[in-house]
Structure 1
């Protein structure tokens, strides 16, 4: 809020909801809107990720059961949400360094100076390190030079980017060419190949070995966050969504990297500056996340009536992404559904399967068209009788 004497003052977000604008105006018509000036930046090693990975590596993929009652009560990380909020909003409280701007990141990419402290030039990394996975895995100084940010990283010899240097970098063809080569180098290390100049990616020929390594070598998750942020800083914002989509597919749909699920949803998606792009990725993730009731990343629950609870992105696991679950059917409702759905004597209908699965505490099969689990069964049963008793209770 502005004032007469001091101009605009930045107010630090204090909740996950304040940090996350993804679902602020959830409308499919906005999918075509231009990217809002959610420009932001960087990550080197921020306290949010450093603390999470170092303190409890298992937190990266919480082991959730299929039962809401037995699932651990995890919540979204406020520190991650705040860190990525600052990145997307170009660090509202950023203060430029008093040191002279030496453009060291640009000069490094022009092959004029080596990275410090190793004394290695970028051209050597690009030509000799490709395929040397042991070196790429165990050397921890090059990543801050290859993917610079406006934050200090673990390599304190690496210099933070500045706005002026970013502009100069984006207008220098040689630097941009090498930057894309560095991106391709790291993708190959992770078992992924860059397909075109639009940033589309796919599995590389070495994907099985590399995905298995990536699933186990979880310090690379921090590197991927940094790579995504640096892409946005240096003019390749459009490259983020294809990579994040592939990582979500691999971790959620194919289970090639299950340990990455939480990092992909908590960090990678939220490096993307356009809310519409984040919504598309989260809707896709919500369809494939298991257990479905434990999806934490929205949309938030809608207020229902005067006594409704609006819920939030950091709500309890048992509430699910919509914030509510349909109640178990009464015996009378169950008989109605069975009568409507049964097609032949002695054959149990899909809806009966769902009711039985709900009673047994197992995961329900999908009915398609975004109607999953018992909630979908109840809606279909009501619709067949010309009404929907649960339309005000179930938010799909």
Structure 2
């Protein structure tokens, strides 16, 4: 028996469906309040109701039958599956367990390679948006994970370090201050100790920047993951809900839609909370037939209709068609179309090629330009900050 257990190896999921447990126990009914740790309500405001009614029969340029049959990003689904399940294939980090992340947060060591201490970042960088935008080494230190990022000087978290961090008041205080610092950079303010958030006074300027600076979506994914690792799982849902409202309802962050739905939502570990967020997204997503992230058709009954109905792609799910601009850019670059997250996270891209990235997901942005690491930093092109994670 000992030999059998010792030789057991985790088998990675091989499909999006195997990675996604969101709808596994769903009955399309409201879950009991005790299941939900998000503080999110499914109630709809009068304005939202009026908008939904007005969009009940959207005027589409093409029918569901004519849209390309595509799938969700397996690369994203697998990445978030590993995170939510605490890295089941986890191996010990390559560095000795020196609690370097905790020591950084205790202001005992600076981040590497810049030599900056946490207190300097928290006291002098707030409001310095150029520095927060263009420096690409601090984010891995402010929001550590159990996975290696592209700043190879940063250390992965370990289970023991996580426990020690969560029991250290000074580290937790600074971690929340770092979270508030980044929220301000994005035009958002932290309202309370429960993680509720709202637009900040500078939201218009910052949202415009965030809509155009897509490497920040990688940073947000890291921030959400780190919140969960360090004891602030409940802070995720309010932030993801705000991003959904801004991107789908208010249309202030339209470029963020697919990063929210492919990545941000799936950092949340509680399936009931993910379902609530996805139901809200499905209500406001346009065109309705292109919504990829609802329950599989088999769980909705034969011939299920309504705004959330999905088409029968190769995985039973239909993706949105490329816009004319996306199609043009895809043709000019040899037809390679992928999500911004897929493109930015694929480590093989550091060599300037796309090998090893087969199966990357849906149609959001074409990656052009090459990446090269120089002394632990990235050479910048139009995707400045691609190596943020």
Aligned to 1:41: none
Give 3-state SS (helix, strand or coil) of 2:177's partner.
helix
Alignment of 1:358-377 (within 5 A): none
8 Å CA contact retained: 1:302, 1:310: no
Question: Could you tell me which of 173, 177, 180 is aligned with 1:181?
Answer: 177
Alignment of 1:91-110 (within 5 A): 91-97=87-93, 99-110=95-106
- Is the radius of gyration larger for structure 1 or structure 2? 1
Question: C-alpha separation between the residues in 1 aligned to 2:319 and 2:249?
Answer: 22
Pairing 1:213–2:214 present: no
- TM-score w.r.t. length of structure 1: 0.69
Give 3-state SS (helix, strand or coil) of 1:202's partner.
strand
Taking only aligned residues, the RMSD between alpha carbons, in angstroms, comes to 2.7
8 Å CA contact retained: 1:16, 1:313: no
Aligned to 1:279: 275
Give the direction of change, closer, same or farther, for the CA distance of 1:145–1:126 in structure 2 (3 Å limit). Answer: same
Aligned to 1:19: 19
Q: How far does the alpha carbon of each residue in 1:286-306 deviate from its partner, in whole angstroms, 9 at most, with x for none? A: 00000000000011112657x
Give the direction of change, closer, same or farther, for the CA distance of 1:314–1:127 in structure 2 (3 Å limit). Answer: farther
Give the direction of change, closer, same or farther, for the CA distance of 1:66–1:285 in structure 2 (3 Å limit). Answer: farther
8 Å CA contact retained: 1:250, 1:256: yes
Question: C-alpha separation between the residues in 1 aligned to 2:164 and 2:266?
Answer: 26
8 Å CA contact retained: 1:301, 1:312: no
Mean alpha-carbon deviation: is it higher for 216-225 or for 91-100? 91-100
- TM-score w.r.t. length of structure 2: 0.70
Give the direction of change, closer, same or farther, for the CA distance of 1:204–1:65 in structure 2 (3 Å limit). Answer: farther
**Larger relative contact order (C-alpha < 8 A, sep ≥ 6)?**
2
Pairing 1:155–2:160 present: no
Question: C-alpha separation between the residues in 2 aligned to 1:227 and 1:313?
Answer: 33
Aligned to 1:339: none
Q: 1:312 offset after TM fit, Å?
A: 8.1
Alignment of 1:107-256 (within 5 A): 107-256=103-252
Question: C-alpha separation between the residues in 2 aligned to 1:148 and 1:172?
Answer: 16
Q: 1:30 offset after TM fit, Å?
A: 3.7
Aligned length: 290
Give 3-state SS (helix, strand or coil) of 1:317's partner.
coil
Give 3-state SS (helix, strand or coil) of 1:193's partner.
strand
Q: 1:69 offset after TM fit, Å?
A: 4.5
Q: How far does the alpha carbon of each residue in 1:319-362 deviate from its partner, in whole angstroms, 9 at most, with x for none? A: 99xxxxxxxxxxxxxxxxxxxxxxxxxxxxxxxxxxxxxxxxxx
8 Å CA contact retained: 2:311, 2:318: no
Give 3-state SS (helix, strand or coil) of 2:219's partner.
helix
Give the direction of change, closer, same or farther, for the CA distance of 1:92–1:181 in structure 2 (3 Å limit). Answer: same
Question: C-alpha separation between the residues in 2 aligned to 1:119 and 1:314?
Answer: 48
